[in-house]
C-alpha cells in the first residue's frame, strides 16, 4: 500500500476543526477529528489539547491502522484508540468526529437510546442510536471497544456521561451526521415536553425501511448535497 502523506488531508483536519467551532458543534479544545485516506489507509487525526484556531497542518498527526505514528509535530488526540478502532471495524467509514454536544449527551447520561424522530436522521444516522455500555474512561482502549460495539452499522453512538461519536464516508457526511444527530436529540427532548403526556410519534419499521432504501438507492453516498 502506498504510504504517501498528503497535505490535503492535514488541511481537511484543520478546516474541519474551525468549521466545528463555527457551527457550534464543539467549544474550546473539546472533541477530536480524524480522516482516513482510502488510498494509503493512513489516518490523519487532530492533535491533543490544542485550540482549533491554533492548529496548523504540521500539528496533524498521521498514524497507521496499528497506531504507529508516521508523521506530525504534536501528540495525537487522547481518543486515538477510539478513532482507529472505528476505522478498523468499518471499511465504509473514512471520517470520524467526536464531540460533547449538550442534547445528545443528555441521552447518554440518562442511558437512553436515541430513536430517529426526523426523516433526515433515519436516512443518514440510523433508526435508533445506542448508548455504548458499560461506561469506560476517556482515552482508553476499552472506550474504543464499547464505542465500536455500540456503533454497529449506524453512523453515530452515544458515550455515557461523555458525548457522541459520529462517522461518515467522508468528512462532509460526518459533519452532516453530527448536526443531524444533535438536532434530532433536541427535537426529541422538546417534543417530550409538549402536550404533557410525553407522546412521541416513532416511525414504523416499514417507514424506516422505505426512507433508508430511498436514501441509498436514489441518492447513495455520491450525492452529498442531498441533505444540505
Interface residues with Zn ion (CB under 5 A)? 163
Q: Give the sheet arrangement for strand 43-45, strand by strand.
A: 69-71, 61-63, 43-45, 32-36, 95-99, 163-168, 156-159
Least distance in angstroms from the C-beta of 138 to Zn ion: 5
Which of 108/168 has CB closer to Zn ion? 108
Least distance in angstroms from the C-beta of 221 to Zn ion: 27
Which of 11/140 has CB closer to Zn ion? 140
Which residues, 6 or more positions from 168, have their beta carbon under 8 angstroms from its beta carbon?
A: 93, 94, 95, 155, 174, 175, 176, 177
Least distance in angstroms from the C-beta of 17 to Zn ion: 14
How far is the C-alpha of 153 from the C-alpha of 87, rounded, in Å? 12
Least distance in angstroms from the C-beta of 163 to Zn ion: 5
By the 10 Å C-beta count (0-12 exposed, 13-18 middle, 19+ buried), 102 is classed as exposed
Which of 116/163 has CB closer to Zn ion? 163
* Of 19, 39, 66, 79, catalytic: 79
Residue 79 known to be catalytic: yes
Q: Determine the residue with CB nearest Zn ion.
A: 163
Which of 99/184 has CB closer to Zn ion? 99
Question: Which has the closest alpha carbon to 93: 170, 1, 197, 208?
Answer: 170
Active-site residues, by number, are 79
Amino acid at each position: 500500500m502506498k504510504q504517501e502523506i498528503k497535505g490535503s488531508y492535514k488541511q481537511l483536519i484543520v478546516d474541519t476543526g474551525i468549521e466545528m467551532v463555527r457551527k457550534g458543534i464543539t467549544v474550546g479544545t473539546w472533541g477530536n477529528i480524524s480522516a482516513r485516506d482510502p488510498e494509503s489507509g493512513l489516518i490523519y487525526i487532530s492533535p491533543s489539547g490544542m485550540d482549533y484556531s491554533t492548529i496548523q497542518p504540521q500539528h496533524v498527526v498521521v498514524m497507521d491502522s496499528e497506531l504507529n505514528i508516521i508523521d506530525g509535530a504534536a501528540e495525537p488526540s487522547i481518543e486515538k484508540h477510539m478513532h482507529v478502532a472505528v476505522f478498523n471495524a468499518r471499511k465504509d467509514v473514512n471520517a470520524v468526529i467526536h464531540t460533547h454536544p449538550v442534547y445528545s449527551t443528555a441521552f447518554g447520561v440518562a442511558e437512553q437510546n436515541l430513536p430517529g424522530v426526523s426523516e433526515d436522521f433515519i436516512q443518514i444516522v440510523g433508526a435508533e442510536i445506542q448508548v455504548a455500555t458499560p461506561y469506560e474512561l476517556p482515552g482508553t482502549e476499552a472506550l474504543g471497544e464499547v464505542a465500536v460495539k455500540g456503533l454497529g452499522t449506524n453512523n453515530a453512538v452515544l458515550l455515557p456521561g461523555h458525548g457522541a461519536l459520529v462517522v461518515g464516508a467522508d468528512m462532509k457526511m460526518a459533519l452532516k451526521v453530527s448536526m443531524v444527530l444533535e438536532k434530532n436529540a433536541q427535537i426529541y427532548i422538546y417534543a417530550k415536553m409538549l402536550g404533557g403526556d410525553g407522546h412521541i410519534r416513532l416511525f414504523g419499521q416499514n417507514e424506516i425501511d422505505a426512507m433508508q432504501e430511498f436514501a441509498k438507492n436514489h441518492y447513495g453516498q455520491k450525492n452529498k448535497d442531498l441533505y444540505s
